[in-house]
Amino acid sequence: MVDSARLTRAWSPLAAALVSFHQGNNSATVTVKNDFGQREELPASLFFRREEDFEEWEGLALERCGTRVLDVGAGVGAHALPLQERGHRVTALELLPDAVRIMRERGVTDVRQGTLADVTDWATYDTLLLLMHGSMIAESLLGLDRLLDRAALLVTPGGVLLMDSTDLREDGSVEFQLEDDGRYFGELHYQLSAGGVESEIFPQLFVDAETLAEHGQRAGWDTEIVWRGPGGRYLAELTSVADHRARHDGSVSKALS
C-alpha cells in the first residue's frame, strides 16, 4: 500500500519551490541531499521548461508516445502540455496538491491527484510516461516490481512504458561506497529542503538497465534501451508482451474481490 501522506510530506519542499516560482520568484530552488553527502540546488524553473528547452532524450520519449498517455508524476505539466498540444489524449497524474493546481492553471486538461496505485483504468493507455528519473518513484527494487506489475494492468496490448534512469556505477560525480547493508547500490536515501522547510529522509531508486530488464521480464515486459547518455543516463522503452487477457481479467478480479 502506497503511503500517500508520507510521500506528500517528503516532497513538500519541492511543492513549496514550485509554488514560489509559479507566483513569480524566478530564483526559487529546492536543495537535494543524498547518501553521498552531496547537496545540489535544483532550480524550480527546471520543472516549468518548454519543449524547446528539452534534452534530446525527452524529445525522443515524446515522439514514441501513443495516442492515449498516462504521465505519471507529471509535476507541473512540462511533458503533458506539449503532448496535449500535439493531439495526444493525456492524463497527468501527480501526488502533490499544489502541483495539481498549477497544472490546471497552466492548461492541462485531464489532471488527477494520486499515485499509480490509485489508477484503475485497466487496459486504457497506449503509453505510460515516467520521466525525469522516473524510476525514482519506485523507491526500491521491490517497489519496482510492484510498479511494473501495476503498469502492466493499465496498458493496452502491446502498450509501452517509457522510463529514464541512471546507472550510478557510471556516474563520475560520485564515489561508490555505500554501507554493506544488503541494499542494491541504486537504492538511495534523499532529503529535500526549501524556504527553511526540511523533509524527512525518504528512499529513491536509480536502476541500471540490465536490472530493469530482468525485473521487467518477470512482469511481462520486453525492454529496449532507446537512448544512452553520459554518466550512465538512459531512456528505456518497455513493451508489454504478457497475455493481457489473463493478466487483466485475473488481476482485476482479484483487486475487486
SS3 annotation, 96-145: CHHHHHHHHHHCCCEEEECCHHHCCCCCCEEEEEECCCHHHHHCCHHHHH
- Which residue type sits at 218? R
User: Do the domain assignments include residue 23?
Assistant: no
Q: CA-to-CA distance for 97 and 24, rounded, in angstroms?
A: 19
Please check whether residue 231 is in contact with residue 207, taking contact to mean a CB–CB distance below 8 angstroms.
Answer: no
Q: Is residue 76 part of a domain?
A: yes
- Average predicted confidence (pLDDT) for the chain: 92
pLDDT digits (tens, 9 = 90+) for 82-123: 999 999 999 999 999 999 999 999 999 999 999 999 999 999
Element of type H or E holding 236: strand 233-240
Q: Report the greatest alpha carbon distance in the chain.
A: 51
Q: How confident is the model at residue 242 (pLDDT cuts 50, 70, 90)?
A: confident
Query: Is 32 among the domain residues?
Result: no
- Structural domain count, the chain: 1
Would you say residue 98 lies in a domain? yes
Q: What pairs with residue 163 in β-bridges?
A: 130, 236
Residue 227 pLDDT grade (very low, low, confident, very high; cuts 50, 70, 90): very high
Question: Rg of the chain over CA atoms, in angstroms?
Answer: 18
Mean pLDDT of 138-142: 97
- 244 lies in a domain? yes
Q: Residues 188-214: what's their mean pLDDT?
A: 95
Is residue 33 included in any domain, yes or no? no
User: Distance between CA 29 and CA 35 in Å, rounded?
Assistant: 20
In degrees, rounded to 5, the angle at the alpha carbon of residue 59 between the alpha carbons of residues 66 and 46 is 120
Are the C-beta atoms of residues 125 and 152 closer than 8 Å to each other?
Answer: no
**pLDDT in the model for residue 37:** 78
Q: How confident is the model at residue 195 (pLDDT cuts 50, 70, 90)?
A: confident
122: CATH: 3.40.50.150
Give a yes or no: residue 196 inside a domain. Answer: no
The backbone torsions φ and ψ at residue 109, rounded to the nearest 5 degrees and listed phi first, read: -75, -50
DSSP class of residue 44 equals: G
Structural domain boundaries enclosing 155: 50-172+179-186+204-256
1: pLDDT strictly greater than 80: no
**b (16+ CB within 10 A) / e for 216-243:** beebbbebeeebeeeebbbbbbbebebe
86 domain residue, yes or no = yes
